[in-house]
Structure 1
Amino acid sequence: MVFSNGGLASIPFNEFEPYTWEEERERTTLTEEQRALPELILYSGQHLHYVMGDQGAFQYITTHYKIYLNSEEAIQRNNRIEIGMENLIDIVDIRARTFTSDGRILELDQESVREINDEDVHFSRLFAIEGIDIGSEIEFFFTVKSALTLFGSHGLQFLAPCLKSEFTLTAPFYMRFDLKPYNADLKVDTLSAPDSISHKFRLIATDLPELRIEPFSNPLAQLISVHYRFVETILFPDLFKFNWDEAGRHFYKLVYEKSGRERRALRRFLRSFNPEGSLEDKVSKIEHYLKDNITFDMRVQAMGINELDWVLENKTAGSGGMIRLFAATLDHFGIRHEIVISSDRFEHQFDPYFETWHSLREYLIYLPELEKFIAPDYFAFRNFLIPYGYTHTYGLFIRRFKTPAKETGIAYTNWIPPFEYRTSKDILHIEVQLEENLSKAIVKEKRSFSGYNSLWIQPFADLLSESELFEIVEELTQSTAVDAEIGEWEVLNKGVKWVNWEPLQINVNYSSASYIQRAGNNYLFKLGNLIGQQLELYVERERHLPVENDFLRGYERKITVHIPENMQIANLEDIAIKEYFDYLGERVFSFESSYSFQDNVLEVSIYEYYNTIEIGPEDFEGFRKVINAAADFNKVTLLLRNN
């Protein structure tokens, strides 16, 4: 809290002025081009109002939209409005109306607003906007009252074009805020509010294009938006400040301060556990021990229970409990570490130069001597592998600072790099024997998945039955050969302890006729099908967003094909494909397939990798060519002729 009860009694109060709309108005006049659009946001407004009164400090939030709807899809997307009630105190007002295409105006019936409250849906209020037809214009706003939140963000851009998008923040004059727009050159105006006690910050964006959703992109990172943060109150400048330095002290205390009861519970829990080996071995063993014995549960986090004695007794914890347990255990064994707080880059962009606690969402542990991280509350991520959304971004690192007089945390921002592409590889080794009569192919396949590529099955593979594992092997095999008859098979390195340590290995022998097709006196051998279907990127319109990969990755394929002695291959040169893209003097994307043919044995080697996370839209074509090179190889069919 920013103010104590005593502080509130000594400061000027301000009041909330109820929001309203223009009671009598006509439909918005549109140009012919605008009327042809399937959807157009005429106005979007988000209005925050901070109020200090004798009942405490509150926040009122008004959301206001005017939208032109000219397609069934747009109508379906906008005909129901749901207001989540989580963390809200009350809904102050709801208004909605429809301007139909034939000139009628239909107002919202307040009786139609209903509550939703079940296990699958958060408690919310829902209302339908009636009478919408093609060419309608709808308008609605709702005002909610909530507890004070001192930092946040608001998107100004949408999946449809927008004529005007507005954000305002009104607060007592003694509350100082910073606002920062992103992805557009927008001005923040500071205005005087009518009550003379408040000031208002306003930002307006006009004629905004739609936010495009494109493959291999992070639309949220490119969203035109505004972030805001409370800085201080000028009446009490010595009070708590929400900056990085204060965050270092606050979260250090939150994580490391323990009661005597917690210390005793931790000693009992670790009494029979003694990790040995190198520093890397010790940390890995600690990670396995804690994650194998303590279950992460979001419900515990929601309850705010972080005390270690409770966590260890109940064998369950939220993210707060897990970070405290990891930090305490590493301390117990004298292992130097730092806590890191960051954001998933696909949900929020961490800006090291804008000190908002809105960015402090996810915990990591950093081991300086190893230059590696741990994700405490992710069961499947082991041996220093962390979620890829937590990489290629900044984080707030908190380092212990200790003197004889005090102990605290020193905060600094630093980059969290992505894992190199060799960490996450998909390696495929195939040996194919074509029968003399070319009726079928006998295939021996060995495939391994490492790093992020293994997470689809490796962490839980040891929990599956033989029949469940076979279904996975069968599905994987039949993705390349629909008629595969599977013989011997095995899955190695099953279980979470192998994640990022040893690759998941799937070995399978099978036969298939689908790779071979007769063409008169000749035969077609579908070599490319052995690597499975590959993604192909098409260019339907000019690329708008930068390329952003989830993680760096590599592929290696070795294919050996034994051809009957009486056959020859007419088009070997089709196998050789080479595409690459260099960025800042470094080869960052590459696909290259090569071959040799001797004594009726065809050897094919394919190397493919993606070694940078992000490039600009102007370089998309280089990326697309490499992606499509794999799809081109998938189409390679060899012509087999009799000698």
Structure 2
Amino acid sequence: MIKNILSISFFFLFTLIVQAQSESFFNSYNWDKNPEYSVNPDSTETIIEVKNKVVTEFLFDKEDDLVEFTMEHRVLWLNSDEKIESFNKVYLPYSLTSELLVNKARVITKDGVVKELNDSKILLATDEETGRKYKYFAFEGIEKGSFIEYYYVVKQNPSYRGKRVTFQSSFKKENVEFDLFAPSNLVFKFKSYNGAPEVEQDTLTEDKLHWKLRMSELEGLEEEELAAYDASKAFIVYKLDKNLAGNVSGISSYGNVSQNIYAYYYPEHSKRTQKSIDKFASEATKGAEKTEEALVRKLEFYIKTNVYIADGGGEELEDLDKILDQKVANGTGIVKLYAAVLKSLEIPHEVVFTSNRQNIKFDKVFEANNFLTDCMLYFPNTGAYISPEENSSRYGFPPAYLTDNYGLFVKEVTVGDFTSAVGEIKYIEPVSADQTIDKMTIDVDFEENDLSTTNIKLDRALSGYYGMFIHPFIHLVKEEDLDNFVESFGKRLNENVEIIDKKLVNDDPELFGIKPLKLVLDIKSNAFIEKAGNRYLFKVGELIGQQIQLYQEKERVLPLENEFKRSYYRNINIEVPAGYRFANLDDINIDKEYSKDREEILSFKSFYNVEDGIVHITADEHYRINIIESERYEEYRDVINSAADFNKLTLILEPVE
């Protein structure tokens, strides 16, 4: 979305340039006519990339417009059926806004035979769901030990205010190269991440500027469970910083971005448009209490119920008059709608641009637009966020991977009669664990004449992110599907339980974030009891449902990264049958925690007490931090596996002697 806002800016910078153009790098580039690629014959790898070359070149065309050429040249050694299957199709960056100038591919067998693909093996297909067209190489005749080689050159509109180039993947690479060429007046800046070497300027290149990066070898990075894998790969980000001919600097600065964002989202509206905005605001917040939080909640619910968000970049989807009339907008248009209505309601707010931390962490220092991929609105009076584009998100609970990260906050400022905006980089606080709760209250008694049968009353309350997947949309669910949904919470304990009664509490979708969604079930089952002589084995741990168990055969490399902080509260109350007692209650006691700076941030604690013939069990679990460094992984694993240990807990019910 940020690309749409900024695409019209700064092109005037390049109209200042009138100079002779040097020959493009691509004019003389070609692959070797007689390739001689090799790998260690004793290698046990299933795939090695023996060449990875990426080149980007910015040039002025005949009309003095800046254009961008990108080349990717890869050679991969494939040594397993799985990898051959994975790479028998290689997709090309084909679109209506780009021009594919060169596309060549070939297979080099392990015996050195070269089989070049002809044009019939470069195919065009259409995605049935999106309608998007794409081209791909269709490789044939690949056998174990073969190399596939391909390269292509694409001409496209320039992207120069922040672009990422990722080098690392799951397999080993050799001869990794990156080059960027630019006219002698356009100065780029670079930053390397996750162990990628620094990009250096080549001062020997004449008539143009040239930056390069070289790696003779790059080890693969294995994907690990609960890791921000894409964000952890070695990559670089580059941006255009200066135009020497125009003596212009800070081209990609967030100061300029902030001004563009403000100008786009907060234009001066005509009287007719403003009247429509005010009318929409009144309809959307009708019946809401006159507090900021109540108004924003009502507005968000109204928009996400009545305005359809469409894909695409058509002007009509960003035209506020058409959006107000037709109730259809794209992502950019929906933010314009929120901004206009919030301003009409005089509710202070700020536009926030950030990144998904699973893909890339927002850099506080290096200002580049590739960190500005996702938009939220921030309400400084309450500290809450909303995500205008995400219908699955609600006030106070934005997409969790956009939090625990930094972002660019754009705030309106007024000095005298002049109104503008300033941008500030700030931390986006994640939602605290005490706002996302899965709470279970379970009351258990035994059939008087058949202790193998238990009567269970399950009261389960879901709030925060645990309730958000269903609570705001529950009015849209068919009654039959809703019944199945409620029953599923009983079946999660054991598929063979009998549901006697069930009900939902607080199922008004507008109560999300205010009251938890509660599922109350009466259950009868003999699935939790096994008879052993005159004793009964009660699988009490299974009442909390199956728990995740983490296994780690290798040493953890990447930090562990959860989506959101969370808490679990479980209270199990068991009425002890007359004439019986539980023989091993102390097995309930589990105490695992990890503290940092004297603050408990991860814990699983279960304990009990007995009062008036009832055993009261508490089993609480807290994750008050999202990102855990690899050296602390074992502490996390101990805590989460403790819940799995509790799930295996069996109490022995025996006669009182």
Normalising by structure 1, we get a TM-score of 0.95
Corresponding residue of 1:540: 553
Distance 2:247 2:231 in 1: 34
Distance 2:189 2:253 in 1: 11
Corresponding residue of 1:459: 472
1:153 equivalent to 2:189? Answer no
Deviation per residue, 1:7-32 (Å, 9 max, x gap): 26624434423232222121314252
Deviation per residue, 1:577-617 (Å, 9 max, x gap): 11111123321100000012345422100111000111210
Corresponding residue of 1:324: 336
The letter for the 2-side match of 1:115 is: L
Distance 1:128 1:303 in 2: 37
1:13 equivalent to 2:24? Answer no
1:40 equivalent to 2:48? Answer yes
The letter for the 2-side match of 1:61 is: T
CA contact (8 A) 2:196 2:234 kept: no
Corresponding residue of 2:569: 556
CA contact (8 A) 2:352 2:409 kept: yes
Provide closer, same or farther for how the CA distance between residues 311 and 240 of structure 1 changes in structure 2, counting only shifts above 3 A. Answer: farther
Q: Which runs of 5+ in 1 are unaligned?
A: none
The letter for the 1-side match of 2:76 is: I
The letter for the 2-side match of 1:402 is: T
Corresponding residue of 1:263: 274
Corresponding residue of 1:519: 532
Aligned with 2:225: secondary structure?
coil
Corresponding residue of 2:321: 309
Aligned with 2:317: secondary structure?
coil
Moved over 6 A (4+): none
Distance 1:129 1:313 in 2: 51
Of 132-141 and 611-620, deviating more is: 132-141
1:244 equivalent to 2:254? Answer yes
Corresponding residue of 1:350: 362
Deviation per residue, 1:120-171 (Å, 9 max, x gap): 2521102212211122222211111111111210111001122232222111
CA contact (8 A) 1:591 1:608 kept: yes
CA contact (8 A) 2:556 2:630 kept: yes
Corresponding residue of 2:109: 100
Give the alignment of 1:273-284 within 5 angstroms: 273=285, 275-284=288-297
CA contact (8 A) 2:548 2:641 kept: yes
Deviation per residue, 1:484-534 (Å, 9 max, x gap): 111110122235422222111111111111101122332211111000110
Q: Which runs of 5+ in 2 are unaligned?
A: 1-8
CA contact (8 A) 1:555 1:608 kept: yes
Aligned with 1:253: secondary structure?
helix
The letter for the 2-side match of 1:50 is: F
Provide closer, same or farther for how the CA distance between residues 597 and 5 of structure 1 changes in structure 2, counting only shifts above 3 A. Answer: closer
Distance 2:612 2:142 in 1: 72
1:51 equivalent to 2:59? Answer yes
2:578 counterpart (545, 565, 577): 565
Coordinate RMSD, CA, aligned: 2.1
Distance 1:136 1:91 in 2: 27
Over the matched positions of the two proteins, sequence identity in percent amounts to: 28
Aligned with 2:152: secondary structure?
strand
1:26 equivalent to 2:39? Answer no
Provide closer, same or farther for how the CA distance between residues 302 and 560 of structure 1 changes in structure 2, counting only shifts above 3 A. Answer: farther
Normalising by structure 2, we get a TM-score of 0.93
Q: CA deviation at 1:303?
A: 5.3
CA contact (8 A) 1:108 1:129 kept: yes
Give the alignment of 1:585-596 within 5 angstroms: 585-596=598-609
Aligned with 1:440: secondary structure?
strand
The letter for the 2-side match of 1:367 is: F
2:90 counterpart (81, 93, 96): 81
The letter for the 1-side match of 2:488 is: E
CA contact (8 A) 2:567 2:621 kept: yes
1:292 equivalent to 2:301? Answer no
Aligned with 1:158: secondary structure?
coil
Provide closer, same or farther for how the CA distance between residues 174 and 342 of structure 1 changes in structure 2, counting only shifts above 3 A. Answer: same
Deviation per residue, 1:51-105 (Å, 9 max, x gap): 1121432111111111121122211111111124236421111122222234322
1:480 equivalent to 2:493? Answer yes
The letter for the 1-side match of 2:108 is: F
The letter for the 2-side match of 1:202 is: K
1:387 equivalent to 2:399? Answer yes
Distance 1:82 1:452 in 2: 36
Distance 1:641 1:102 in 2: 74
Aligned with 1:414: secondary structure?
strand
Distance 1:357 1:626 in 2: 39
The letter for the 1-side match of 2:53 is: G
Corresponding residue of 1:634: 647
Aligned with 1:438: secondary structure?
strand
1:199 equivalent to 2:194? Answer no
